[in-house]
Amino acid sequence: MKIYARITGTGSYLPGSPVTNNALIAAHHLDSSDEWIVERTGIRARHFAPEGVTTSDLALEAARRALEAAVCQPNDIDLIIVATSTPDYVFPSVATLLQAKLGHTNGAPAFDIQAVCGGFVYALSIAEKFIQTGTSRCALVVGAETFSRMIDWKDRSTCVLFGDGAGAVVLEASDEPGILASAVHADGRYHSILSAPGHLCGGQPIGDPLIRMDGQAVFKFAVRALADVAEETLVAANLPPEQLDWLVPHQANIRIIQATAKKLRLPPEKCIVTVERHGNTSAASVPLALDEAVRTGKIKRRDTLLLEGIGAGFTWGSVLVRF
């Protein structure tokens, strides 16, 4: 019998209090305005991790909530994947740090994947393969980021966009669907339109480790790639877009979300939107939006969802889910 992978619990965590556009502008003496940021991005506030709080700390809170929702103990988990581009250390991975913090001792594999804002859909589609092949039965898949640590606060075109946070799901083997289809892609020719082009040497940043972006090129690439991959995933599952209950897109910019929904001919009411309160939390954005929509009762059991991510690299993908 076919083994499906089903999401059985979701969790998320946002550190500290919301930081409004006006508070951010005042704190960093930015030549910007609340009106400009809201109109161009849809973002009104974001959260930042306090000093000393790392990506694995955020991952831990989100993971605990997902485990509780799935009624799982840490040692029920037989695979941990964390999607992040802002790990605590170069190594060991956030996944192994999270494993230790959870008190997880059954020796299951734990590793990070780095596909920036595309990371969570990559991680989910990898976990699905482990479950489909019978290698794992209960996976913890996390997206966690502290992008505030790599923001250039003098660059008004990027510093207003990002926030910190974490989201997690428990994915379990089931004879009921589950993940219906998934697709992930990358095209390294576009690496230079969004990058943090430094590196670490002896623990010190060398070069330019802060975010650099050609916003308009990213915008155009994102809308086309997200629409194409959504169509690819829906065709693979033989599901017309009108049968989707919810689009759970990467939360980078409200205009990217609206343009993608329009290409899919989905009404705006079917899009889960959290970007106005979270900003862009990179690999955490999709599981954060998913968890919020589940906990507020929008997304219900058996709803059909399309999760979509896209990030630097470029990397992108989507996962079609019967929840």
Measure Cα distances from 154 to 7, 97, 158, 159, 276 in Å: 41, 32, 9, 8, 22
Cα 137 to chain centroid, rounded: 22
Nearer to ligand ACO, 35 or 51 (CB): 35
Active-site residue, 117 included? yes
Considering only residues 225 to 264 of the shown chain, the ones binding ligand ACO according to CB under 6 A are: 250, 252-253
Distance CA 287, CA 106 (A): 25
The distance of closest approach from Cβ of residue 202 to ligand ACO in the complex, given in angstroms and rounded to an integer, is 29
Measure Cα distances from 266 to 74, 229, 286, 294, 316 in Å: 38, 15, 18, 20, 20
Among 18, 92, 209, 215, binds ligand ACO (CB under 6 A): 215
Residue 286's closest CA among 202, 184, 211?
184
**Residue 157 binds ligand ACO, judged by CB under 6 A:** yes
Torsion sign over Cα 199, 200, 201, 204: positive
- Strand, coil or helix: 116: helix
Q: Which residues are CB-contacts of 175 (< 8 A; sequence separation ≥ 6)? A: 1, 2, 3, 4
**Residue 193 binds ligand ACO, judged by CB under 6 A:** no
The distance of closest approach from Cβ of residue 244 to ligand ACO in the complex, given in angstroms and rounded to an integer, is 21
| AA letter at 225 | A
Tokens standing for residue 36? 């400009």
The distance of closest approach from Cβ of residue 190 to ligand ACO in the complex, given in angstroms and rounded to an integer, is 11
Of 21, 47, 104, 117, the active-site residue reads: 117
Distance CA 147, CA 225 (A): 23
The pattern of x and - marking residues 44 through 83 that bind ligand ACO according to CB under 6 A reads ----------------------------------------
Nearer to ligand ACO, 128 or 308 (CB): 308
Considering only residues 258 to 317 of the shown chain, the ones binding ligand ACO according to CB under 6 A are: 280, 310-311
**Residue 216 binds ligand ACO, judged by CB under 6 A:** yes
The distance of closest approach from Cβ of residue 39 to ligand ACO in the complex, given in angstroms and rounded to an integer, is 9
The distance of closest approach from Cβ of residue 280 to ligand ACO in the complex, given in angstroms and rounded to an integer, is 5
Among 10, 41, 260, 315, binds ligand ACO (CB under 6 A): 41
The distance of closest approach from Cβ of residue 25 to ligand ACO in the complex, given in angstroms and rounded to an integer, is 8
Q: Which residues are CB-contacts of 63 (< 8 A; sequence separation ≥ 6)? A: 11, 98, 102, 140, 142, 166, 168
Of 47, 104, 250, 278, the active-site residue reads: 250
**Residue 161 binds ligand ACO, judged by CB under 6 A:** yes
- Give the residues lining the site for ligand ACO (CB under 6 A): 32, 36-37, 40-41, 117, 156-157, 160-161, 194, 213, 215-216, 218-219, 222, 250, 252-253, 280, 310-311
Active site residues: 117, 250, 280
